[in-house]
Structure formats: structure tokens, C-alpha cells
Amino acid sequence: MVYRAFFDAVFRSMDPEKAHERGFAAIRAGRFATRLALPQTYAPRTVMGLEFPNAFGLAAGFDKNARAVPGLLALGFGHVEIGTVTARAQPGNPRPRLFRLVEDRAIINRMGFNNEGAAEVASRLHRLRRTKAGRDAVIGVNIGKTKVTPPEDAVADYVESARLLTPYASYLVVNVSSPNTPGLRDLQAVDELRPLLAAVKDVADRNPSGRVPLLVKIAPDLADADVDAVADLAVELGLDGISATNTTIARPESLRTDRATIEAAGAGGLSGPVLAERSTEVLVRLRARVGDRLALISVGGVTTPDDVRARMAAGADLVQGYTGFIYEGPRWPSRLAAAVV
């Protein structure tokens, strides 16, 4: 209640990206963790051979450059997925590029993979891994295509990111499902995806300190037949899992925000509770398709402890959230992390 009052009084009227930057700075400094962290009982989980302190993690997009991992973990997240990171640094799309649909507790973003590039993020992760907190942290690394890289060079672009970042990743995620990089979602087609995943898997398998689990992240907008095709490919190639789902390009009629506000926000990926139904449908379909051969990370529309429990019951091995963090505040991770006992 306190955070919601603060959100309505301060953050609601502030530019969303500026509000994110200020909140991020406080988390990075550890201010929320020292003042608001509550003792909780968490249930550790072993997934993909990794020990997770709990089943709930932070989805990619919040900490793009691995600047706040310890502060985020201190709030209760069992793991943090950083990124999306690209082979080359890039500024992302022009501002404004982040919009709130407050009535729906939703967000539209067209950030465009703004990040400092794989070499810089790898250097930061290297320093983090040399600390005690860093050695113990479960850090996923989400990689995507540099915007200026032509489609014919996409594989080499992903491989470069994987080569630099895999040594510091607990697990690696190939993101081919963001709607904010032109042509990226075309890579979800199996004929395009097979050589890309095979090449990145080769890097992950040959990591000098031991192979790193590899997942692919897919969009909720894929047709069911395409979800099945990606699942079959992941099994065929020996991937470790699938992350489902990313944001959607749809603007469902169920949104309560007025259409003029939605249209004014423009293009971008929509996230929030409105995504829950489709994300769960994809999760159930994937689990039926792959059985226990792959780990499944369910993300999209997760807001409450009941949402976490429902995703686990539907077949998820791990659950992630992001948009709920913006609307619910710094106590939210520990509440959701304690949902699975």
C-alpha cells in the first residue's frame, strides 16, 4: 500500500524511463534491500543442473548491463536474467520508448535492445564473479542481434556475444522474440533458427570451465504449430530449455486503457497481466510437447503469488516477472519467491 501510494504520487506523473532510472539507481545502491528485505522461507530448486535459491526470477530487460545484480538478488529474486545484450553497443530506439497503461498494470516498450555491448558487459560480469556474492549468484544472460547487423550475418553476431558472455553466465538465452529489432522475429522460423541455435550451442558446450545451459526465448504471438516446431527443434538440438514468453505486439480488446492512449503509445511490446492467458497456454502446450526433456521458464503476466503457483502447476520449472515489479514495488520479489514451498 505504501509503495502504491508513492507510485501514484510520484512515479505515475514521471516519465516512465526516468522513473525506471531512478528506481534502478536505488536498487543498485542496495537501499531497498537494507530497508525492506523481509525474512522469508524459500524452497531451493535444481533446474538444468543449477541450484536456484527459489523458483522466481527477474526477467531480462530490467538490468540490461548487469549493473544491479547483487541488489536485485537481495530483494528476493532467486535469479536475475540480464540483457538483452548485443555484440555491439547500441543506444536503442529514440525516446520516448517506454509507456505505462496504468489501468491495466501494463507496459508498452520499444527500447530496442539499448545496452553497452557484449565486451563491456562481459568485463562487468567478470568483476562481479570475482566477489563472493557474484560467485554464488545465478545469473542468466540473454543475448540478441545487433540492430545494424544484416540478417545474413545474424549467426556470427550471436556467436560473438555468446563467446564473450558464456564464461560468466549460469545459463544463456537466445532471444529471437523481441518485437523491437527489425526482422528479429523472423529468426523464430525453424529454418532460420536451426543454424543459429546450433552455432550458439557449440559455444556454450565448449565453455572452458564447463558447458553452460542454453535456452531459446519465444514470442506469445507464434501460432501453435510454430510453438510446436520450435519445441521439436530445441529437443532435436539438445537445448536445455525454452523461455516463454516475450512481450506481445497484440493490443487485446480486453485492455481497459482507452484506445486513444494505446494508439498514442505506438508500436512496441506489451507486457503485464493481459499477457497471462496466452503465456500460460504456450507453457501448457510446450510441457505437453517436450515432457521432461526440457526445462521451461514461464514469463509473461505474472503478478501475484497465485500466478506463480499456477505456472508451476501448469508445468513451469522456473517463473519470471518484470512488469509486476514496476507496479508492486521492492517487496514484490520476496512475496512471489515465497509462493513455492
Question: Phi/psi of residue 58, each to 5°?
Answer: -95, 125
Q: Which three cell numbers stand for residue 291?
A: 515432457
Report the phi/psi class of residue 191: left, alpha or beta, with left for phi > 0 and alpha for psi in -120 to 50.
alpha
**Type and span of the H or E element at 108:** strand 106-109
Q: What is the CB neighbour count within 10 angstroms for residue 65?
A: 17
Q: Which three cell numbers stand for residue 237?
A: 538440438
Binding site feature residues: 60-64, 84, 109-113, 142, 175, 180, 217, 245-247, 272, 301, 322-323
d(CA 83, CA 61): 6
Catalytic residue among 161, 170, 177, 178: 178
| Helix segments in 29-74, DSSP class H | 31-36, 69-74
d(CA 91, CA 115): 7
**Pairing mode of beta strands 269-271, 295-299:** unpaired
d(CA 137, CA 70): 8
d(CA 89, CA 71): 24
- Which DSSP letter does residue 165 get? H
**Intra-chain end-to-end CA distance of the chain, in Å:** 25
Q: Establish whether 178 is a catalytic residue.
A: yes
Binding site feature residues for substrate: 64, 109-113, 175, 180, 246-247
Binding site feature residues for FMN: 60-64, 84, 142, 175, 217, 245, 272, 301, 322-323
The residues annotated with a catalytic role in the active site are 178
